[in-house]
């Protein structure tokens, strides 16, 4: 919360994704403990990393650490960049058939010689905790019960927590990628929002944005969305994570929204860092817990 106190010009409520994610992880840990006590079941998440990409290594370490902190089992499989597609498929098949593994995440991007869509769709749909399998994409599109991709799911959780009922609101999602933009738009549609999906060919993007009560930015362009593109009082979810150089030769993270100007107009906004980012791994744990319950015919505890 950051109301206008006279010294700052910011009027928007800051949606604290870090605190929200910590709270969600706490709830997940409590449910994991309940599963252990009542069903002798420990949810297990397998993460597969192919190659030595430094950013991927950081993500995988962080996922493993938070999985264990939530009381779940973490299985890390680190393979060399030269791993053949056949060997990777064999590992995924083993994990698909391992009853102790309830979630499988293949860290993307994969090396060039590997067919990424084929690998994504080789993960058993009911263990696809990333929600990228065609079966889960179809379920989200048709309103069936499936697995929802983590970043859009975390964004929706924060929106609902802040706004309550979303029905009837005008929403714009800027970006139409398979991992963020499209699933985000489908989730907002499921909540009965009137949804516009904008992309690089959209005409008068500022004008389209100004119409929206909810603006989700998933573009990958630093600070592209300015304060005067935002409808006064709108809720802004900034998914973008961009590293930019600073004048002193260092660097810092910024979102796709120009935070300072946007915070003067929006009703609420997620910061970068500390907004959507922390929710992504928390939702990965959420999806793993959910699938451990579904795979064992256990009602997901409240
Ligand atoms: P992609 O590059 O896959 O997609 C970007 C989208 O933005 C495309 O649909 C593209 O349109 C659109 N776009 C690009 N330029 C413009 C423009 N000038 N005007 C309007 N639309 C434009 O990115 P991702 O969806 O994977 O990621 C988006 C951002 O979110 C990135 O900064 C990424 O780092 C971040 N991210 C953050 C996560 C988190 O945990 N917080 C997780 C995943 C991503 P078109 O389709 O026409 O090319």
Pocket of ligand 1 (CB under 6 A): 151, 174-177, 179-181, 198-202, 205, 218-221, 239-242, 276-277, 280
- Shared domain check, 158 and 108: no
Block mean pLDDT (10 aa), the chain, length 302:
51 97 98 98 98 93 97 98 98 98 97 98 98 98 97 98 98 98 98 98 98 98 98 98 94 97 98 97 98 97 86
- Judge whether 34 and 301 are in contact, CB under 8 Å: yes
180 located within any domain: yes
Q: Strand, coil or helix: what is 136?
A: helix
CATH code (residue 217) = 3.40.50.720
Supply the pLDDT for residue 301: 85
**For the purposes of burial, counting CB atoms within 10 Å of the CB of 294, is it exposed (0-12), middle (13-18) or buried (19 or more)?**
middle
Domain limits for position 76: 40-124
Pocket test for ligand 1, best of 219, 226, 270, 279 (most atoms within 8 A of CB): 219
Supply the pLDDT for residue 1: 45
Instruction: Please give the span between the terminal C-alpha atoms of the chain, in angstroms, as a whole number.
Output: 27
Q: How many CB atoms lie within 10 A of CB 142?
A: 9
- Shared domain check, 115 and 159: no
Cα–Cα distance measured from residue 260 to residue 2, given in angstroms and rounded to the nearest whole number: 13
Helix (H) or strand (E) holding 251: strand 251-254
188 located within any domain: yes
Q: Is 85 a catalytic residue?
A: no
Supply the pLDDT for residue 302: 87
CA of 174 to the centre of ligand 1 (A): 8
24 located within any domain: no
**For the purposes of burial, counting CB atoms within 10 Å of the CB of 298, is it exposed (0-12), middle (13-18) or buried (19 or more)?**
middle
Last residue of a domain, one of 89, 124, 159: 124
Q: Give the distance from CA 13 to its chain's centroid.
A: 21
72 located within any domain: yes
For the CA of 242, the closest atom of ligand 1 is 32
CA of 121 to the centre of ligand 1 (A): 22
CATH code (residue 57) = 3.40.50.10860
- Shared domain check, 158 and 119: no
Token pair 């019960």 is found at 145
Q: Is 130 a catalytic residue?
A: yes
- Shared domain check, 271 and 159: yes
Rounded to two decimals, the pTM is 0.96
113 located within any domain: yes
Q: How many domains does the chain have?
A: 2
Q: How many CB atoms lie within 10 A of CB 96?
A: 17
- Shared domain check, 243 and 170: yes
Tell me the residue length of the chain: 302
């Amino acid at each position: 919360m950051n109301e206008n106190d006279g010294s700052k010009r910011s009027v928007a409520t800051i949606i604290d994704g870090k605190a929200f994610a910590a709270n969600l992880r706490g709830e997940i840990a409590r449910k994991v403990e309940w599963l252990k006590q009542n069903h002798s079941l420990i949810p297990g998440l397998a993460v597969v990393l192919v190659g030595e990409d430094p950013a991927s290594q950081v993500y995988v370490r962080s996922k493993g650490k938070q999985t264990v902190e939530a009381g779940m089992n973490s299985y890390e499989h680190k393979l060399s960049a030269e791993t053949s597609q056949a060997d990777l498929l064999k590992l995924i098949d083993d994990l698909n058939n391992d009853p102790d593994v309830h979630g499988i995440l293949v860290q993307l991007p994969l090396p060039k010689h590997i067919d990424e869509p084929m690998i994504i769709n080789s993960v058993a749909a009911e263990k696809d905790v990333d929600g990228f399998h065609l079966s889960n994409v179809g379920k989200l599109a048709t309103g069936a019960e499936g697995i929802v991709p983590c970043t859009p799911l975390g964004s929706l959780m924060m929106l609902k927590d802040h706004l309550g009922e979303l029905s009837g609101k005008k929403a714009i999602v800027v970006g139409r990628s398979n991992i963020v933009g499209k699933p985000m738009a489908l989730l907002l549609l499921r909540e009965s929002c009137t949804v516009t999906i904008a992309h690089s060919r959209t005409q008068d993007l500022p004008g389209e944005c100004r119409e929206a009560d909810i603006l989700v930015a998933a573009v990958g362009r630093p600070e592209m969305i300015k304060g005067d593109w935002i409808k006064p009082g709108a809720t802004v979810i900034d998914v973008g994570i961009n590293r930019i150089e600073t004048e002193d030769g260092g660097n810092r993270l910024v979102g796709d929204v120009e935070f300072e100007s946007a915070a003067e107009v929006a009703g609420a906004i997620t910061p970068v860092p500390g907004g959507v980012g922390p929710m992504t791994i928390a939702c990965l744990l959420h999806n793993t817990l959910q699938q451990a319950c579904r795979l064992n015919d256990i009602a997901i505890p409240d």
